[in-house]
Amino acid sequence: MADERKLKHLEMIQGVINRLAANSFMLKGWSVFLISALFVLAARDAHPAFALFIYMPVLIFWLLDGFFLWQERLYRKLYDHVRSLKDSDVDFSMNTTPFKTTEGPTWVGTTLSKTLIPFYGVLILTVTAAAVLTFTTGEK
């Protein structure tokens, strides 16, 4: 096979992309689970300051998810670059630094992307609504 080196390199890159996508998916699941568990604890103890603490994990998960999505986008750019190489030019580099340019994706831009804002925005709105309902009505 003439493009065997290129194919192997593309498989390596695709493996990283798959792991990053799986990490992002798991983060979303863990964020919903952890936020729900923390809110149950906050509501049980009826301590309004504890509810404010719930925003911290949401923001941390959002930033981490943005990082994984950013890395995935960089690896997709690497994949596209390797795809266009001749088999003899394939060096099996997994370095995405050349794609961290002003024209490329940024961590902040990816974190505030149309794929993450709806999920984490709804999560923040839900936490806010639940906190308001729980702590203004005085119910446990």
Return the domain boundaries, the chain.
Answer: 4-137
Say if residues 78 and 96 touch (Cβ distance below 8 Å).
yes
Q: What is the pTM of this model?
A: 0.85
Q: What is the pLDDT of residue 138?
A: 56
For residues 58 and 64, give the distance between their C-alpha atoms in angstroms, rounded to a whole number: 10
From residue 43, alpha-carbon distances to 65, 102, 132 in Å are 27, 45, 11
Residue 55: exposure state from Cβ atoms within 10 A (0-12, 13-18, ≥19): middle
Residue-wise pLDDT tens digits, 79-127: 999 999 888 888 999 999 988 887 778 999 999 999 999 999 999 998 8
Could you give the 3-state DSSP secondary structure of residue 85?
A: coil
Q: How confident is the model at residue 140 (pLDDT cuts 50, 70, 90)?
A: very low
Q: Does the pLDDT value for residue 18 go beyond 50? A: yes
Query: pLDDT, tens digit, for every residue of 22-58?
Result: 999 999 999 999 888 887 777 666 666 676 788 889 9
Specify the pLDDT at position 33. 92
SS3 of residue 2 by DSSP: coil
Q: CA angle 132-115-66, nearest 5°?
A: 85
